[in-house]
Amino acid sequence: MDANTHAGVPGLYNPQFMDHVSHPDYRYVLEDATHTHEGVNPSCGDELTFYVRIGDDGTIEEASYQGHGCAISQASADMMSDLMVDKTPEEARTLCRTFMGMVRGEETDAEKIASLEDAAMLKDISHMPARVKCAELAWRTLDEMLAETQE
Amino acid sequence: MLTDPQLAAIAESPYKADFPLLVQNPQIAFLDSAATAQRPAAVLDAQRTFYETMNANPLRGLYRLSVAATSAIEDARGRIARFIGAIDEKGEPQASQIVFTRNTSESLNLVANTLGRQVVLGEGDEVVISIMEHHSNLIPWQQLCRETGARLVYLRMDEDFRITQQEIDEKIGPKAKIVSVTHVSNVLGVENDVAAIARRAHEMGAYMVVDGAQSVPHIGVDVRELDCDLLAFSAHKLGGPMGIGVLWGKADVLDAMPPFLTGGEMIDSVTETDAVWAPVPQKFEAGTQDAAGSFATDAAIAYLESLGMEAVEGRERALATYLTDSLAALDFVDVIGPTDGSRHIGAVSFDVHGVHPHDVSSILDASDVCIRAGHHCAQPLLTELGYQSTCRASVAFYNDKADVDRLVEGLKMVWQVFNGR
């Protein structure tokens, strides 16, 4: 067995990560949301609803989420919500693609990964193929929501 | 609770040395045998021996190599038949009653698509299963009922996780055509009184099918005692290779069933417009079979027989009791199912308060403790129990007390990660 396959696991559940799980900043219903979208991960049973309010200037003013799931999907949603404030839909979708590439091990560019701010700490998910879908759920759902918005 | 001599007996495993993966990875506490067992060296050797010494297409060739390959399959049928008590009055194994498939799921799909279509005709007919079924003994019947308009009836558990005689009598009535129930639940580890269910099914004129995936590897299963009509199980859960399933059936039941898949080696004769089926079991085995897998399954059962199923069952019951007691002793863990460990055949499900089972499993993995987390292909059961997913640890005879202790230490770490600061 390759010892590296789970190299990132013990470190992943670190205090900074757990803070997003135990004390989320964006886990609430956004009453004046302009867009909502539901994301489901059938293998985990994760079910998250995402809320976004896009302002008159076309940027994301606020993002939040509700629902239940594993620590990875919850923390990932919290980090994402924080990152998306003041981003245009195009910028947001670029970040979503960067994140999904990172957790799949396809995006290794340090500068791009740094643009994910706190969410960059989920890089080691790329060593945990069984958990990629948990980490991606929030980002995939936001990307789908914004794609519909732009249509 | 276990006595001191019982604890001493599981302190170490004399069997780990027989399993190359466990020898090469002594750091691993493998507690997921309900998903698939580890394979002893004898099974791996058999797989290789087949290809090195008897590889040819079985049944087809008239030369000695092909005859050897054919014997590998036929001898395996005989050993499997004897292992599950499929023997005649003289004690001779009924090899022709053993049909090879790919796995338990395929065995059950075969039954639903052949016997099911033969006897379940439509509205007014009932198929009875239990709420504990693995999806492989649920979806084939659910879909058959949807297609034919028959009703799917569920046997439910009481608060003590038992299917009572009263429930059996109420749910299995004269409209029942097929009753198909799991012998042991893959989630709860509890054993169902299959003989009592079979008695009622037969009184009502229904066929009795048993999913033995979680029982055949762990307790001595005797089809004469269960008095079922058909029994399905998988080789990979008893130390054999992946990709070999077994369907046993009473001779007259199998004879009357139409074939499932058609093609090579399952016919007596074929014309441009018609075909005559080969006798059982070849009727159900279209195409080239996994002869090496059958040969290795033979070796897996020979290995279990060398240990003795009574010894296997006794040790596994002691390990399951120790596992249940150890989990129940943790105040942040709920055992899902009986807290009486002696009722668990291999598997124990549990919940760590406020922690998603996938996080539990990922953190345990960092300590090389392997458990299953999720819905265990039994979503209706989990819904009935009020869970979205659970953790499940399961033991086999090659485990020891230390494996369970490692799980407990790992769970304490999980709790620390989520609540430590």
ipTM of the complex: 0.87
The 10s digit of each residue's pLDDT in A102-123 is 999 999 999 999 999 999 999 9
**Residue pairs spanning A and B at CB distance below 8 A:** 46
pLDDT for position A10: 60
Below-50 pLDDT ranges, chain B: none
The minimum CA-CA distance between A111 and chain B, rounded to whole Å, is 29
Chain A touched by B16 (CB under 8 Å): no
Residue A142 predicted with pLDDT over 50: yes
Q: What is the pLDDT of residues B293-337, one digit of tens each?
A: 999 999 999 999 999 999 999 999 999 999 999 999 999 999 999
A71 with B388: Cβ contact below 8 A? no
Give pTM, 2 decimals: 0.93
The answer, yes or no, to whether residue A145 has pLDDT greater than 80, is yes
Q: Are B275 and B254 in contact (CB under 8 A)?
A: no
Percentage, residues of chain B above pLDDT 90: 95
CB atoms within 10 A of CB A147: 12
What pLDDT is recorded for position A1?
40
Tokens, residue B235: 């080789």
pLDDT (mean) for A125-151: 90
Does residue B417 belong to the interface with chain A, where contact is any CB pair within 8 Å? yes
Which of A13, A43, A103 is most worth mutating to test chain B (most B CB atoms within 10 A of its CB)? A13
Residue A9, pLDDT > 70, answer no
> What's the pLDDT score for residue A149?
80
End-to-end CA distance of chain A: 47
Q: What is the pLDDT of residue B102?
A: 97
Cα A114 off chain centre by: 14
A111, B31, B243, B246, B304 from B239: Cα distances, Å = 49, 14, 12, 14, 9
Which residues have a Cβ under 8 Å from the Cβ of A79 and sit 6 or more positions away? A20, A116, A117, A118, A119, A121, A122
Q: Check CB contact under 8 Å for A44 and B365.
A: no
Q: What is the pLDDT of residue B20?
A: 98
Q: Confidence class of residue A3 from pLDDT cuts 50, 70 and 90?
A: very low
B residues 371..390 contacting A (CB < 8 A): 374-375, 388-389
Domains and CATH numbers, chain B: 4-30+309-419 (3.90.1150.10), 46-306 (3.40.640.10)
Domains identified in chain A and CATH numbers: 8-150 (3.90.1010.10)
CB contact under 8 A, B366 and A6: yes
pLDDT digits (tens, 9 = 90+) for A39-95: 988 777 788 999 999 999 999 999 999 988 899 999 999 999 999 999 999 999 999
Residue A46, pLDDT score? 82
CA angle B186, A9, A136 (to 5 degrees): 80
B377 counts as catalytic: yes
**Dihedral angle of Cα B221, B222, B226, B228, to the nearest 10 degrees:** 100
The pairing of beta strand B369-370 with beta strand B275-277: unpaired
Q: What are the CA-CA distances from residue B344 to residues B338, B339, B385 (Å)? A: 8, 9, 17
Q: In this predicted model, what pLDDT tens digit does every residue of B120-131 receive, in sequence order? A: 888 999 999 999
Q: How far apart are CA A32 and CA A40, in angstroms?
A: 23
